[in-house]
């Protein structure tokens, strides 16, 4: 009798375990989706926080900040992250010296801080960026022989620094006057007044997701590469250079190319070194100059991407196209 009772108890336990495992298997995808949606929401809110800071900056300066400084030797190295810091973390901004490079020893205690608004929770957690650079010509630090090494706080958002528009297909009629890297919503070493965004604030990207730096990701897979943009101009640090060349990619390999100018071009979540890249299942977030946050998918075509990145191409954008 006891043996039979124990057998029944064991069978009941097995059945209960199987039922529990089946329930977990059923609930796990829903839980994962809920977690993914929550991360995407935080990422969107981060961009809204950045937008408020950008526009508070513009209220004071009547322009958007420079996307990067330090080119040409007349300014210390830095980017838009340090420019809008007073409107995100005023306590940290009070300790940040914009007269010297972001990696200068004076600024390292601030620049090494992780600031939530710059980090998308969907991006990989196990990554570190190390910057090694010497005092720049534009820094007020007189000792130009100094070399600094530190690990800066990361940034998963970036601005465009030029567009690689294909010269075939949809790129054939792209205006020659706006080829190059000075036709985006922010420029180098100087502020950019709103009136120069002639395509309209609602038709021009300000910043976009570029998660996972300094590691390279292509089409959802991590490669064995690290950021090719190193030293003083490292991307991926919120206090560092805040822009990168943007373009379209091979949809089979995620490699950089000029594009074929057709539907085979990959535009979103293709290559995180030089394009829009988010760690969300269906796409990535962009912030437009008017403050709106949009979620774009790999269905975004290359011509629309080019028109969104360029502030003065003069070409219409169908709001339903992105």
Q: Is the pLDDT of residue 30 over 70?
A: no
Q: Is the pLDDT of residue 305 over 70?
A: yes
Cα(101)–Cα(77) distance, integer angstroms:
5
Q: Is the pLDDT of residue 108 over 90?
A: yes
3-state secondary structure 218-234: ECCEEEEEECCCCHHHC
Phi, psi of 233, rounded to the nearest 5 degrees: -105, 30
Specify the length of the chain in residues.
322
> How much is the pLDDT for 38?
87
CB 89 within 8 A of CB 109: no
Q: Which of 29-38, 94-103, 275-284, 305-314 has the lowest mean pLDDT?
A: 29-38
Q: Is the pLDDT of residue 82 over 90?
A: yes
Q: Is the pLDDT of residue 25 over 70?
A: no
> How much is the pLDDT for 66?
96
Q: Is 35 left (phi over 0), alpha (psi -120 to 50) or beta?
A: alpha
Q: List residues bridging with 78 in a β-sheet.
A: 69
| DSSP tag of 116 | G
Q: Is the pLDDT of residue 76 over 70?
A: yes
Cα(16)–Cα(74) distance, integer angstroms:
71
Residues 312-316, mean pLDDT to the nearest whole number:
92
Is 238 strand, coil or helix?
A: coil
Sign (positive or negative) of CA dihedral 214, 218, 220, 221: negative
Cα(305)–Cα(298) distance, integer angstroms:
11
Encode pLDDT of 239-264 as tens digits: 999 999 898 999 888 887 778 899 89
User: Of the ranges 31-45, 78-92, 217-231, which is most confident?
Assistant: 78-92
Q: For 77, what's the count of Cα atoms within 13 Å in the CB-facing half-sphere?
A: 25
Q: Is the pLDDT of residue 106 over 80?
A: yes
Nearest residue to 192 via CA among 200, 184, 204: 184
Q: List residues bridging with 149 in a β-sheet.
A: 132
CB 50 within 8 A of CB 157: yes
List the structure tokens of 314: 């003069």
Q: For 270, what's the count of Cα atoms within 13 Å in the CB-facing half-sphere?
A: 28
Cα(20)–Cα(15) distance, integer angstroms:
9
Q: For 225, what's the count of Cα atoms within 13 Å in the CB-facing half-sphere?
A: 13
List the structure tokens of 37: 């949606």
> How much is the pLDDT for 97?
97
Cα(153)–Cα(31) distance, integer angstroms:
30
Phi, psi of 46, rounded to the nearest 5 degrees: -60, -45
Percent of the chain at pLDDT exceeding 90:
67
> How much is the pLDDT for 9?
56
Question: pTM of the predicted model, to two decimals?
Answer: 0.88
Domain limits, the chain = 1-322
User: Between β-strands 221-226 and 243-247, what pairing exists: parallel, antiparallel or unpaired?
Assistant: unpaired
Cβ neighbors of 91 (< 8 A, separation 6 or more) are none
């Amino acid at each position: 009798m006891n043996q039979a009772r124990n057998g029944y108890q064991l069978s009941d336990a097995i059945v209960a375990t199987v039922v529990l495992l089946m329930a977990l298997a059923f609930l796990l995808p829903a839980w994962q989706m809920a977690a993914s949606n929550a991360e995407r929401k935080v990422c969107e809110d981060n961009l809204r926080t950045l937008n408020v800071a950008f526009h508070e900056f513009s209220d004071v300066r009547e322009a958007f900040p420079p996307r990067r400084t330090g080119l040409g030797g007349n300014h210390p190295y830095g980017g838009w992250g340090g420019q809008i810091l007073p409107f995100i973390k005023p306590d940290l901004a009070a300790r940040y010296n914009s007269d010297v490079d972001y990696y200068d020893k004076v600024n390292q205690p601030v620049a090494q801080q992780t600031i939530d608004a710059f980090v998308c929770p969907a991006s990989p957690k196990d990554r570190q960026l190390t910057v090694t650079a010497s005092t720049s010509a534009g820094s007020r630090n007189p000792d130009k022989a100094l070399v600094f090494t530190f690990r800066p706080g990361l940034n998963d958002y970036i601005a465009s620094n030029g567009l690689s528009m294909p010269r075939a297909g949809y790129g054939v009629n792209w205006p020659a006057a706006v080829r190059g890297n000075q036709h985006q919503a922010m420029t180098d070493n100087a502020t950019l007044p709103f009136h120069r965004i002639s395509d309209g604030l609602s038709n021009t990207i300000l910043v976009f997701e570029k998660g996972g730096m300094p590691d390279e990701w292509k089409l959802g897979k991590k490669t064995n590469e690290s950021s090719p943009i190193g030293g003083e101009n490292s991307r991926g640090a919120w206090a560092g250079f805040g822009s990168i060349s943007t373009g379209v990619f091979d949809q089979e390999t995620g490699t950089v190319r000029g594009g074929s100018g057709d539907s085979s071009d990959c535009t979103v979540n293709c290559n995180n070194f030089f394009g829009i890249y988010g760690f969300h299942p269906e796409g990535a977030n962009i912030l437009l100059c008017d403050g709106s946050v949009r979620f774009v998918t790999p269905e975004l075509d290359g011509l629309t991407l080019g028109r969104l990145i360029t502030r003065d191409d003069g070409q219409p954008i169908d709001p339903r196209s992105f």
